[in-house]
């Protein structure tokens, strides 16, 4: 899975939009590890929640040209950057400025991808719709993630796959238990220790 071209981005824009970092590239590496599995699934619709610069969903769109790809972000500037990243890499992407997945109808997406704001912060920090929204995760770094977990059964098709990036401080075992109660099994796809973070990507499926 190729890493998208990013030189089109004005570096000053990263004062407002999350700059691709180790977590972004771990997620791309995890999807690349899953590529044979995903090709067998032959996904028709894919959604990344919180796309930021758009590098992850663009990488997916490049690898799956017959899949219609969508992304959302609460930050309008992130939506514009995601659209630009897709355009410069010659893939089609529908980008929607919204909070999580609130405006989508039931069970449409075969693949769901989420690199959430996972840093432990005060709850009030989660109310931002600017650059702070890209990293402020509230209590346990999980407040935004937990909101999406409640929406996953509605968004995914019955045989859909959900890829979620977490760090150890988010207590991944609790997340697995929450999803188990919703009827989802979990597999660890990839993990990596980066600086002071232990990042992991988990795959959830029914």
Please give the model's pTM, rounded to 2 decimal places: 0.96
Neighbouring residues of 99: CB distance < 8 A, sequence distance ≥ 6: 72, 74
Yes or no: say if 23 and 51 are a contact pair by the CB < 8 Å rule. Answer: no
- Going along the chain from its start, the domains and CATH numbers come out as 26-34+43-192 (3.40.50.150)
Burial string for 46-77 (b: 16+ CB within 10 Å, else e) reads bbbbbbbbbbbbbbbbbbbeebbbbbbbbbeb
**pLDDT score for 26:** 97
Task: Show pLDDT as tens, one digit a residue, over the chain (206 residues).
Answer: 888 878 888 888 899 999 999 999 999 999 999 999 999 999 999 999 999 999 999 999 999 999 999 999 999 999 999 999 999 999 999 999 999 998 888 899 999 999 999 999 999 998 877 899 899 999 999 999 999 999 999 999 999 999 999 999 999 999 999 999 999 999 999 999 988 899 999 999 99
Q: What are phi and psi of 16, to 5 degrees?
A: -120, -20
**pLDDT score for 5:** 75
């Amino acid at each position: 899975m190729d890493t998208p071209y990013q030189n089109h981005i004005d570096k000053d824009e990263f004062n407002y939009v999350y700059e691709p970092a180790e977590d972004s590239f771990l997620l791309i590496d995890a999807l690349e590890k899953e590529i044979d599995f995903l090709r067998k699934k032959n996904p028709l619709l894919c959604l990344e929640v919180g796309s930021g610069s758009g590098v992850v969903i663009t990488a997916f769109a490049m690898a799956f040209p017959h899949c219609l790809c969508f992304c959302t972000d609460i930050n309008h500037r992130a939506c514009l950057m995601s659209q630009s990243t897709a355009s410069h890499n010659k893939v089609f992407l529908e980008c929607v400025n919204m909070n999580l997945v609130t405006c989508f109808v039931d069970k449409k997406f075969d693949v769901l991808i989420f690199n959430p704001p996972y840093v432990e912060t005060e709850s009030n920090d989660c109310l931002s719709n600017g650059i702070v929204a890209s990293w402020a995760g509230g209590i346990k770094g999980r407040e935004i993630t937990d909101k999406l977990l409640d929406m996953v059964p509605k968004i995914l098709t019955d045989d859909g796959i959900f890829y979620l990036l977490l760090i150890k401080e988010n207590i991944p075992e609790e997340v697995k238990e929450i999803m188990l109660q919703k009827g989802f099994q979990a597999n660890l796809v990839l993990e990596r220790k980066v600086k002071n973070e232990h990042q992991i990507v988990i795959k959830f499926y029914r």
